[in-house]
């Protein structure tokens, strides 16, 4: 139930060059609308049908004055596995305002997650959601609805030297209770020779989160730079019907980036390492007591992403992508190990001065350990268009 929304250090991974004076944080002053279509299909060994997801992200950004931007994002999706195992519906809608100040070296971000996403999942929908939530697959909509959320964040970047920028930031995410599932169970009463069906759709309160970031952006020369981003996330405990039932292990994420420019083309790579500590679980004899697990059920995760821009034609570009993902097994039942290799190609096409078309295609193969070792194979496509107004 943990949210995937967090502070993104745009200063360290999205700026094309280091500026010695002012204007470090991006401050978009043009209204734009972007919409896209994404399709992902993963075939898992041992299962006849693949898991597919079609998503339709929409984003609108309004500059409101010289320093403040308002962004609205929403991503409906259709996910399917078997005839009775599918999830179709809306996601939560996020409204985010960003205020940039101090010569565009600092910003404050406020966000509200409106509970428009699908909740009260049935048994089969909940089963599918567990697969969608596996990080190895990178589904664009891993979670449809998480209830009402609110967040406040801060980021600051300052040039220490002409070629060195340091950034710090943090975010607090507050979550309100919601009803994630409508779970049905059945059992026999031997004395009556009949079946009793019960439904649980109680209230669940995910724990709040606080995130702290630190980052460095170092320019080696005019065409080359390296980046580092460290993130620590602390989770409060989840509540079920007012009782503490789960505490997520605290998480550390580290990102190393490298950018090399050759004229209008470039090579960009990022290595990510994520590690979570031991979870806290309700004891078997009741939910009034919660204890840290003896062995860590969270395996470490490592991922490498590479983007190579090989051609630039009057603002349009052709790209080659490479991905490698390795997720280690957990210590409890030694499942969760996954290894994935893949890549693809894409293009950005400048249609007019304010309209850009984006296309991407990727193919992956690898293995995943659940109850047994399984081969996995995936295809993902993305096509989007962005209009500046």
Note the pLDDT of residue 171: 96
pLDDT tens-digit profile of 207-217? 999 999 999 99
> From CA 332, how far away is CA 312, in angstroms rounded?
50
Q: CA-to-CA distance for 135 and 350, rounded, in angstroms?
A: 32
Quickly list H helices, 150-283. Answer: none
> What's the confidence (pLDDT) of residue 187?
63
Give the pLDDT score at 27: 67
pLDDT at 326: 98
pTM assigned to the model: 0.90
> Which pLDDT value is given to residue 288?
61
The whole-number pLDDT of residue 235 equals: 97
Pairwise CA distance, residues 5 & 15, whole Å: 21
334: helix, strand or coil: coil
Residue 7 has pLDDT above 50, yes or no: no
Mean pLDDT of 183-203: 69
Q: How far apart are CA 2 and CA 143, in angstroms?
A: 9
pLDDT of residue 334: 86
Per-residue pLDDT averaged across 223-244, rounded? 94
Nearest-CA neighbor of 373 among 347, 346, 335?
A: 335
Domains of the chain, CATH where assigned: 10-388 (2.40.160)
pLDDT number for residue 195: 62
Task: Identify the weakest region by mean pLDDT among 8-22, 127-141, 363-377.
Answer: 8-22
**Using H for helix, E for strand and C for coil, what is the string for 194-225?**
EEEEEEECCCEECCCEEEEEEEEEEEEECCEE
pLDDT of residue 239 exceeding 80, the answer is: yes
Q: Could you report the per-residue pLDDT of 136-179, keeping only the tens digit for each?
A: 999 999 999 999 999 999 999 999 998 999 999 999 999 999 99
What percentage of the chain has pLDDT greater than the value 70?
88
31-35, 189-193, 338-342: range with lowest mean pLDDT: 189-193
pLDDT at 1 exceeding the cut of 50 = no
Largest Cα separation within the chain, whole Å, is 81
Question: pLDDT tens across 195-207, in order?
Answer: 666 677 889 999 9
pLDDT digits (tens, 9 = 90+) for 318-374: 999 999 999 999 998 888 999 999 999 999 999 998 999 999 999 999 999 998 999
Distances (CA, A) of 7 to 208, 337, 351: 15, 27, 32
pLDDT at 23: 53
**pLDDT category, 134, cuts 50, 70, 90?**
very high
Mean pLDDT estimate for the chain? 89
CB 233 within 8 A of CB 210: yes
Of 76-80, 139-143, 241-245, 256-260, which gets the smallest average pLDDT? Answer: 241-245
CA distance 24 to 12: 10
Task: Name, in order, each residue with C-beta under 8 angstroms of 188's C-beta and a sequence gap of 6 or more.
Answer: 194, 195, 196
Give the pLDDT of residue 26.
61
Residue-wise pLDDT for 255-299, tens only, equals: 999 999 999 999 999 999 999 999 999 876 555 678 999 999 999
Residues of 95-128 as b/e, b for ≥16 C-beta within 10 angstroms? ebebebeeebbbbebebebeebbbbebbeebbeb
């Amino acid at each position: 139930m943990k949210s995937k929304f967090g502070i993104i250090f745009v200063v360290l991974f999205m700026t094309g060059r280091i500026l010695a004076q002012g204007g470090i944080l991006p401050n978009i002053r043009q209204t734009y609308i972007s919409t896209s279509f994404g399709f992902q299909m993963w075939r898992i060994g041992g299962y006849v049908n693949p898991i597919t997801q079609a998503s339709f992200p929409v984003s609108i950004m309004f500059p409101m004055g010289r320093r403040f931007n308002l962004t609205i994002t929403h991503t409906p999706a259709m996910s399917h596995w078997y005839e009775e195992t599918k999830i179709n519906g809306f996601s939560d809608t996020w409204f985010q305002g960003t205020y940039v100040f101090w010569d565009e070296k600092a910003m404050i971000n406020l966000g509200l997650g409106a509970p428009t996403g699908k909740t009260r999942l049935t048994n089969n929908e909940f089963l599918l959601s567990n697969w969608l939530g596996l990080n190895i697959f990178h589904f664009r909509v891993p979670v449809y609805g998480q209830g009402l959320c609110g967040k406040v964040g801060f980021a600051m970047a300052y040039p220490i030297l002409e070629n060195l920028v340091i950034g710090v930031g943090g975010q607090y995410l507050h979550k309100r209770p919601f009803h994630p599932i409508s779970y049905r169970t059945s059992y026999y009463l031997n004395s009556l020779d009949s079946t009793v069906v019960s439904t649980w759709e109680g209230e669940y309160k995910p724990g709040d989160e606080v995130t702290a970031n630190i980052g460095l952006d170092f320019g080696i020369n005019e065409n080359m730079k390296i980046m580092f981003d460290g993130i620590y996330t602390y989770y409060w405990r989840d509540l079920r019907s007012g009782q503490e039932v789960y505490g997520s292990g605290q998480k550390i994420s580290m990102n190393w980036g490298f950018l090399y420019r050759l004229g209008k083309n470039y090579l960009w790579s990022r290595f990510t390492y994520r590690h979570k500590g031991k979870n806290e679980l309700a004891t078997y004899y009741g939910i009034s007591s919660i204890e840290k697990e003896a062995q860590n059920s969270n395996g470490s995760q490592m991922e490498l992403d590479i983007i190579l821009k090989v051609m630039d034609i009057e603002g349009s570009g052709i790209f080659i992508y490479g991905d490698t993902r390795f997720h280690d097994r957990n210590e409890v039942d030694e499942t969760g190990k996954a290894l994935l290799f893949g890549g693809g190609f894409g293009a950005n096409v400048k249609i007019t001065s304010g309209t850009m078309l984006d296309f991407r295609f990727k193919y992956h193969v690898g293995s995943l350990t659940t109850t047994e070792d399984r081969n996995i194979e995936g295809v993902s496509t993305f096509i989007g268009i962005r209009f500046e107004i």
